Structure 1
Amino acid sequence: MEKRSKQLPLLFTSSDWNFDDLSRAYDAIREIAVNELRLDFYPNQIEVISSEQMLDAYSSIGMPLMYQHWSFGKHFVHESNLYRKGRMGLAYELVINSNPCITYLMEENTMALQTLVIAHASFGHNHFFKNNYLFQQWTDAGAILPYMEFAKSFIARCEERYSPAAVEAVLDAAHALMPQAVFRYRRRPRLSVERERARIRERLEHEERTFSDLWRTLPQAAEAEAPREVQTDMSERQSAIEYPEENLLYFLEKNSPVLKPWQREILRIVRVIAQYFYPQRQTKVMNEGCATFVHYTIMNSLYDKGQISEGTMLEVLQNHSNVVFQPHFDDPRYGGLNPYTLGFNMMRDIQRICTEPTAEDRDWFPDFAGNGDWCGTLLDAWATHRDESFIRQFLSPALIRDMRLFSLQEESSDPYYEVMAIHDERGYERVRSSLANSYDVGMTQPDIQAVDADLKGDRKLRIKHTVHNGATLVEETRNETIRYIQRLWGHEVSLVGVDAQTDKVLYEVSSKELGEKA
């Protein structure tokens, strides 16, 4: 370790933590974050929780307020058993994208680890949440917690009024469609609990105006014999539908012929949650890389100033090494690139290029190579990029060589892989492009859209899956999801898979056929 330039009193001397030590460490970290790294962050709210509470937070997708659903209990039991048998570890922290930003610390952590976690989550993740353009565009950090409180109480009231089984059936179907419940290009409206409650009242009043309880006592007749009010409502809905629609839960919420107002509201709740997590799906490498780079820089600065001991720094480096550990491709533990490793290495590399560029760096990155302002360069990158664009613009040949990256091509009909590019002069661009594409949500998520629904006729809903590179849907889960859509739509649902290049129909399946087979 390098000789420390300045000696200040140690922030703590024991591995055991107390709240005074946490307060001193927080203040020291904040000073470095503001004055040296120029971070901009939400106010912090730090809570210390037990391992049991951390497992509970895991099971409810990391939100401090969440409605009840059987899947959360299932995840809790599964992960709790793995943890107690020593087959799974727990995260050192959990951070919520809210204002104030909530960070959960494990009470079992040592003081050194608590310090690292505060730097990582309360300042690294916090800065990224507040400043990245995707989070600014798609999330409302100041409104998400009040909205989740509203959602939890609304679903609880629905369970009391309509039965837990009825609510569970809607939630099961909605959860199955969560990956297809986001707007990728349209900005969502700002959340407001007051606006949500007013909209629910309007929805209930509209439903009462367009439904006469007298008709419920009559035998079901043909479409033409339906109440005039209902026919008019259907005609208005039909003319208002815009095709295609990528957000399936939004489409079902607005246009399903059978859903009741409370069921539509549950679909809205689930899709709002899905939209909230949409930016996180696109920024895993950048978000974790930013937090890891921030904690690494801050902890080294604390050590250089003499505020933490050598023993503390060794513990910090050990935990840091565990976070950025990357198994080799032929290691049984390999499960793809570790986002912490890739993000941290890229940000350290950007720091190097800004301060000590090579001729190769100046050729590849003329805009910032040698500018000396690595902090400003990183702040701009954190604010204006997602994983795909960040990798495409900042992954350097030097890092490609250091990480020994290469590109494979696989044809499903071939019994082998073909190495298309390696870390050499001819392969840098292809490796970088292939890696960037693998983080592009538009290329990795199925392109499934509602393309037609005749509300005036047979009410059959038609959904189209545009198949890219021959990647079709898994039959078992595809069929089960079609059944869920049919449950929410109330009439026949068909799904057609069409090749993106040739427009050839690859498969077609309908809920009617699935029902007959069952």
Structure 2
Amino acid sequence: MAKRSPKSKSQPLFTEVDWDFDTLNRTYDALEDVALKDLELDFYPNQIEIISSEQMLDAYSSIGMPLMYHHWSFGKHFVGHQHLYRKGARGLAYEIVINSNPCISYCLEENTMALQALVMAHAAFGHNHFFKNNHLFEQWTDAEGILDYLEYARKFIADCEESHGIEEVELILDAAHALMSFGVFRHRRPRQLSLKEAEEQRLERLKASEQNVYYLWNTIPDQDTDQQGDAALAKRKQNMQLPEENILYFLEQYSPVLRSWQREILRIVRNVAQYFYPQKQTKIMNEGCACFVHYHILNTLYEQGRITDGAMLEILHSHTNVVTQPEFDDPRYSGINPYALGFAMMQDIKRICTEPKDEDREWFPDIAGSGDWRGVLKHAWANYRDESFIQQFLSPTVMRHFRMFALADEAKNSFCTVTGIHDTQGYRHLRDVLALNHDMSFLEPDIQIVDADLLGDRCLHLQAVKRNGVELDPASKNKTINHIERLWGYKVELKEVENTV
């Protein structure tokens, strides 16, 4: 906790527990002043909305978006969250923030004024700055157009329900939602389209949606010699740009059985999946940035005498709850807390820049003692994702603080082996292992479409790469195949191969 200057004579922004809109406006202006003049943050215009607990539960159910199409799973999530909340088994988030322009922050009306100050600093400036500046969000999301696109998606799916029936639409949505994690481009960047351009392309697809498949069928030779068969396979893969990692995209383009409106639903679902993909890759950085920003801004206001002692104690209590790392034998333990690790690493970067030790000068010669912690942090927020951030900035100090060590757990052995401890070699191994555990390409199955024999049995061939010899879970594998078969219309085969890299 920062120390207040004895010369500070500024009036507190608020002294009461309850809030009103005048107090919110006054506090927001003070938070913004520190964010702009001290931290020099760059963020979208803010739209702060105060919502009830029921509305917060509703936002939970629709993955935090203010506009969303209808699906039974959202209602199921709403009932589940509501049941736990009313039993007291789960609290509600203090806020939800949306990567859009303007950036929308939902704050819970039950928050005290101190908590409203905390969540505004956290979401409206911390998350907002990260959304606007991180390279993944810049390249893969459209903050300007997401709300318009969701409005279009909701209307389109509602029209489909009216024209084709709710059950028909739900069958497509059920399969598409189940395959959502296989509906993103991980390695190539799709061109961002405006809503007008997207609508124009949709109308073009409506006119010639089936011709893509018919064209492919007509380009495959009829003869069946081995040489011509190999040439046909190569030509087929070239035409369909195989292998393809984005399964929903391939099904949207080439499924022999889907109608135009069903293809458009697949496109909507995979666009939503693509929008959220950067958030999956930056959980530690995004939450760490927001926690660091709110902590710095509120401590600065406290030093200026604009936050009272009582309010600051409440803020620090909530902050501590968020960044606490439970012990491994604590009932609350569920792995490393991304809030805790992100905040600790960013506080440590500030320490290395201002008060380095000899160890820091050895590990981080470029930034140790530079004094420019603001510049270092903003560079990291803009140019890294979780695994690369850990690889670059995780220090021995933080590893010791979290008491990290690495284990090798081989299925053939009845014991675990400690492979990384707190020594020079161990620190580097620990950093590599932790970074790998936050690499989405390692955490999610690598399943790609490798062939589709459209003139023969029309079987769709998929290939999954085993990692460390670990096979796919049989139950999940069979369910995935069933969902793909529903959208493809014919047999689907999934082969698992060893990783040769």
1:109-188 equivalent positions in 2, closer than 5 A: 109-188=111-190
Matches of 1:230 and 1:410, distance apart in 2: 47
Cα distance in 2 for residues equivalent to 1:330 and 1:431: 21
Residue 379 of structure 2 corresponds to 380
- Does the alignment pair 1:350 with 2:349? yes
Classify 1:79/1:370 alpha carbon distance in 2 versus 1 (closer, same or farther; 3 Å).
same
Q: Which runs of 4+ in 1 moved over 6 A?
A: none
Residue in structure 2 matched with residue 258 of structure 1 by the alignment: 257
* Number of positions where the alignment pairs a residue of Structure 1 with one of Structure 2: 483
8 Å CA contact 1:8, 1:306 repeated in 2: yes
SS of 1:333 mapped into structure 2: coil
- 2:32 paired residue number: 30
Which amino acid in the other structure matches residue 103 of structure 2?
C
Indicate whether 1:189 and 2:191 are aligned.
yes
Q: Equivalent pairs: percent with the same residue?
A: 59
SS of the residue 1:427 aligns to? helix
Q: Distance in 1 between matches of 2:425 and 2:274?
A: 40
SS state at 2:425 partner: coil
- CA deviation vs aligned residue, 1:146-189 (integer Å, no higher than 9, x gap): 00000000000000000000000000110111111111111122
8 Å CA contact retained: 2:48, 2:106:
yes
1:499 pairs with 2:498: yes
Is the 2:213–2:254 contact (alpha carbons within 8 Å) kept by the matching residues of 1? no
Matching of residues 310-349 of structure 1 within 5 Å? 310-349=309-348
1:415-469 superposed Cα distances (whole Å, 9 cap, x missing partner)? 2221111223331000111001101111111110000001122111000000111
CA shift in 2, pair 1:409/1:353, >3 Å: same
Cα distance in 2, alignment partners of residues 16 and 365 from structure 1:
46
Q: CA deviation at 1:7?
A: 2.2
| Change beyond 3 A, Cα 1:242–1:207 | closer
Compute the RMSD of aligned alpha carbons: 1.5
Separation in 1 of the partners of 2:270 and 2:115? Answer: 36
| Cα distance in 2 between the residues matched to 1:273 and 1:265 | 13
Q: 1:96 aligns with which of 95, 98, 120?
A: 98
The residue number in structure 1 matching 2:78 is 76
Correspondence list, 1:27-66, <5 A: 27-66=29-68
452-461 or 264-273, which deviates more: 452-461
Amino acid at match of 1:3: R
The Cα shift of 1:241 comes to 0.4
Q: Is the 8 A contact 2:213 2:256 kept in 1?
A: no
Q: Deviations over 1:488-514 (max 9, x none)?
A: 001110001111149xxxxxxxxxxxx
SS, match of residue 94 in structure 1: strand
CA distance in 2, matches of 1:185, 1:336: 28
What is residue 507 of structure 1 aligned with on the other side? Answer: none
State the alpha-carbon separation in 2 of the partners of residues 498 and 176 from structure 1: 23
Counterpart Cα distance in 1 of 2:313 and 2:58: 31
Query: What residue identity is the alignment partner of 2:218?
Result: S
Query: What letter matches 1:294 in structure 2?
Result: V
Question: What CA distance in whole angstroms lies between the structure 2 residues aligned with 1:501 and 1:230?
Answer: 33
How far did residue 236 of structure 1 move?
A: 5.5
**Partner residue in 1 for 2:225:** none
Q: Tell me how far apart the structure 1 counterparts of residues 499 and 323 of structure 2 sit (CA, whole Å).
A: 38
SS at match of 2:300: helix
What letter corresponds to residue 495 of structure 1 in structure 2?
A: L
Q: TM-score, normalised by structure 1?
A: 0.91
Match of 1:267? 266
Report the Cα distance in structure 2 between the residues aligned to 1:200 and 1:386, rounded to whole angstroms.
33
Deviations for 1:2-54, whole angstroms, at most 9, x for unmatched residues? 23252211111101000000000000000000000010000000000001110
Q: Structure 1: which amino acid aligns with 2:142?
A: D
Deviates most, 459-468 or 185-194 = 185-194
Measured after TM superposition, the shift of residue 206 of structure 1 is 1.8
- Tell me how far apart the structure 2 counterparts of residues 230 and 133 of structure 1 sit (CA, whole Å): 36
Q: Which moved more, 1:291-300 or 1:231-240?
A: 231-240
Give the distance between the partners of 1:417 and 1:15, measured in 2 at CA. 51
- Is contact 1:409-1:417 (8 Å) kept? yes
Match of 1:505 in 2: none
Alpha-carbon distance in structure 2 between the residues aligned to 1:25 and 1:235: 66
Letter in 1 for 2:313: L
- C-alpha contact (below 8 Å) 1:235/1:455 kept by paired residues: no
Q: Say whether the 8 Å CA contact 1:285–1:343 is kept in structure 2.
A: yes
User: Within 1, Cα distance between the matches of 2:147 and 2:162?
Assistant: 23
What are the Cα deviations for residues 199-224 of structure 1, in whole angstroms up to 9, with x where unaligned? 2221222258x5xxxxxxxxxxxxxx
Residues 147 and 191 in structure 1, CA contact (< 8 A), matched pair in contact too: no
What SS is found at the alignment partner of 1:495? strand
Change (3 A) 1:422 1:157: same
The answer on whether the counterparts of 1:144 and 1:191 sit within 8 Å (CA) in structure 2 is: no
CA contact (8 A) 1:132 1:383 kept: yes
Structure 2: which 5+ residue stretches go unaligned? 221-235
Q: For 2:102 and 2:448, how far apart are their aligned partners in 1?
A: 36
Give the letter aligned to residue 310 of structure 2: G
